[in-house]
Amino acid sequence: MTKEMLQNCGKCGLCLNACPVYKLLKEEQASPRAKLQLIKAYDNNTLASSALLKEIVSKCLMCGSCTANCPSGIDHYSKFMEMRKKMVEDQGETPAIKSLIYLLAREYRIKFGANLARAGQKILPDSFAENYKLGNIPLNNFPTLNTTPFRKASDTIILPDKKQVGTVLYFTGCATNYLYDDTGFATIGILKHMGYKIIIPEDQTCCSIPLLFHGAADKAFKNITTNINAFKNHDVDAVLVDCSTCGEALKNEYPRLIENQGQNPFDTKKIASKVMDILSFIDQHFDRLEFDSTLVEKLSVTYHAPCHTKNNFGAHIIAENLIKKLPFLTYKRTPDFDECCGGGGTFFYEYPDVSKKMVDKKIENAKAVRATYWLTDCPVCRMNLAGNLNNNDNLQVLHPVTIIHSALKQI
Ligand code: SF4
Ligand code: SF4
């Protein structure tokens, strides 16, 4: 983004009430408008770098709501990413975030980290796990890591259950691979049922959005090129993601970064043009689903729309309508179904108090509609929502694909 674009901010304030952090803190410095003015002053050399400036810029969920609501078309998202990079260069990074970046920058390190965490989950005494929190989430409320990484447990090429109607690539992301394999198996089950051949490239890796959000674009490049190389030679109908944040990386960030590097963006743009979130894909081909007609119990569900599904893809209404169309459930909308839960990548860890207030409000509203299942299509939202529920809340948080798959007719 150019300095000229930053000048376009007419200070109208429309981004203020779109910003979940501002809405909670009610401080001008938490607003997107103030962040832009500070960035402009820093770029013009009228404001020096400081720990406080880094803190103000970083206290942001990177939810994209300001960009989606700005009448002047300002791309806060890219500007914040650039500024975060400068702040890390000037002020350094915390040891915890540095370690996370180091881990996520290579697949073998992610695997090592997941193995270590899995072993830790087995040996940690309950008393410790109950009382120690990572950010706002008690350790004993974290999901149990997959016994086997999803991509290892599934085949690379999966044939459909019926006459083939097309071929899709599946980008599984780290969360499905290491944390939530139920999402992955349900996605495969639905696509097979619909008649799609599925390709899950073995050597895909982290989409790297956490690295980009933490100003470590240089460290993300190995992952980005690995993913592009793993996906570019397949002639498919769609590249599917089960997490809209991964989708944002593949669709919008990769082409921009590759072009900025002066590399040929042809392959990246070709992949980007086919990226689609799994719920929109299912919705487009809804008539291919056959449900189990013996299901009589009406499940009661509500939905939490992840920020990137809403702000980057505008697909939250498609997701909600898809859920409403499912014949075996009753949908109950909460008044804040499309408001941020405060998970925000590592926001729940870095700003636990702010995050906790956001998620507790969501939980209160979800409990009020008395649903049994709380559906959401983002693994961080799922972890944050489920991680802050109490045992007696009687609400199970799942990706929508899990519930769709469980109701399909066996072929
Ligand atoms: S909505 Fe856009 S133009 Fe208005 S204050 Fe926010 S950034 Fe500036
Ligand atoms: S990205 Fe989200 S949290 Fe960050 S300033 Fe914009 S609206 Fe606020």
CB atoms within 10 A of CB 26: 9
Does the beta carbon of 10 sit less than 6 angstroms from any atom of ligand 1?
Answer: yes
> What local confidence, expressed as pLDDT, does residue 3 receive?
46
Give the phi and the psi of residue 206 in degrees, each rounded to 5: -50, 140
Distance CA 268, CA 146 (A): 30
Distances (CA, A) of 171 to 79, 198, 212: 27, 10, 18
- The structural domains of the chain, with segments of one domain joined by +, span 3-91, 95-141, 150-205+221-284, 289-406
CATH tag, 150-205+221-284 = 3.40.50
What is the SS3 assignment for 180? Answer: coil
CA–centroid distance, residue 33 to ligand 2 (Å) = 10
Question: If 0-12 CB within 10 Å is exposed, 13-18 middle and 19+ buried, where does residue 167 land?
Answer: middle
Q: List per-residue pLDDT tens for the chain, 411 residues long.
A: 454 467 789 999 999 999 999 999 999 999 999 999 999 999 999 999 999 999 999 999 999 999 999 999 999 988 999 999 999 999 999 999 999 999 999 999 999 999 999 999 888 888 888 888 999 999 989 999 999 999 999 999 999 999 999 999 999 999 999 999 999 999 999 999 999 999 999 999 999 999 999 999 999 999 999 999 999 999 999 999 999 999 999 999 999 999 988 988 899 999 999 999 999 999 999 999 999 988 877 899 999 999 999 998 899 999 999 999 999 999 999 999 999 999 999 999 999 999 999 999 999 999 999 999 999 999 999 999 999 999 899 899 999 999 999 999 987
Residues 20, 339: contact at Cβ < 8 Å?
yes
pTM of the model: 0.94
Q: Which CATH number is 289-406's, of 3.40.50, 3.10.50, 1.10.357, 3.30.700?
A: 3.40.50
Residue 397 token pair: 């948080």
Mutate to test the pocket of ligand 2, among 62, 70, 307 (most ligand atoms within 8 A of CB): 62
Structural fold of domain 3-91: Fumarate Reductase Iron-sulfur Protein; Chain B, domain 2 (1.10.1060)
Residue 61 token pair: 């969920």
Distance CA 61, CA 99 (A): 20
Nearest C-alpha to atom 4 of ligand 2 is from which residue?
Answer: 60
Nearest C-alpha to atom 1 of ligand 2 is from which residue?
Answer: 62
Domains 3-91 and 289-406 share a fold: no
Residues 375, 399: contact at Cβ < 8 Å?
yes
CA proximity to 236, closest of 160, 154, 315, 165: 165
Q: Which atom of ligand 2 is nearest to the CA of 31?
A: 5
CB atoms within 10 A of CB 349: 18
